[in-house]
Amino acid sequence: MAEIADRCDGVLVVDEAYADFTDSDCLDLVKEKSNVVVTRTFSKSYGLAGMRLGLAVARPEIIEALDKIRDHYNLDRLAQMAGAAALRDQAYLTECVGRIRRTRDRFTKAIQDLGYEVIPSHGNYVFAAPPDRNGERVYQALVERRILVRYFSDPLLKHGLRISIGTDSEMDEVLTALKEIG
């Protein structure tokens, strides 16, 4: 990322929506490079998706420029208070992220044991392809069981599914369904 920042004539925005689920991030790059902005969301690891709340970390001069074009009424008080409370409660964040990572890893191993190919994930989801590489078939069978996952009809992605990681019991339901579907 540092090399990309060096080659970039403008501002490099690094989207770290899933950074809490991995072991590295680009926050230190903001200190090293004057043109880097790191964005984060409260939607994923903090569980505040409905709030549409996020933040940007950048050098003061970039934040000042962004502030000039920002809608000054873009967040209501409830969203501001929820964001502040979430940032203060890092112990809860660590607990939730750890639980999601453990469930993701367990689920990944279990579907690999069923013959699914799983791309290594550093998010709160996995992209998995069934043995026959027919993502649409499995998607339709899951929908019939009222289990919602993401299917992409794009030729590069239609062989698999994006499966969000839920609770252990929810993921066990998905596993049971995948075993039945074959």
What pLDDT, on the 0 to 100 scale, is given for residue 52?
Answer: 85
What pLDDT, on the 0 to 100 scale, is given for residue 73?
Answer: 74
What pLDDT, on the 0 to 100 scale, is given for residue 136?
Answer: 98
98-181: which CATH topology? Aspartate Aminotransferase, domain 1 (3.90.1150)
What pLDDT, on the 0 to 100 scale, is given for residue 143?
Answer: 98
Mean pLDDT per 10-residue interval, the chain, length 182 residues = 95 95 94 96 88 92 91 83 94 94 97 97 96 98 98 97 97 98 92
2-88: which CATH topology? Aspartate Aminotransferase; domain 2 (3.40.640)
Q: What is the pTM of this model?
A: 0.84
What pLDDT, on the 0 to 100 scale, is given for residue 86?
Answer: 94
What pLDDT, on the 0 to 100 scale, is given for residue 49?
Answer: 84
Asked if residues 147 and 79 have their Cβ atoms less than 8 Å apart, the reply is: no
The residue count for the chain: 182
Handedness of CA 139, 22, 43, 157 (dihedral sign): negative
What pLDDT, on the 0 to 100 scale, is given for residue 157?
Answer: 97
Sheet holding 36-41, edge to edge: 12-15, 36-41, 54-57
51, β-bridge pairs: none
Q: Domain residue spans in the chain?
A: 2-88, 98-181
Please give the C-alpha separations between residue 28 and each of 24, 77, 158, in angstroms, as whole numbers.
Answer: 10, 30, 36
What pLDDT, on the 0 to 100 scale, is given for residue 179?
Answer: 97
What pLDDT, on the 0 to 100 scale, is given for residue 70?
Answer: 84
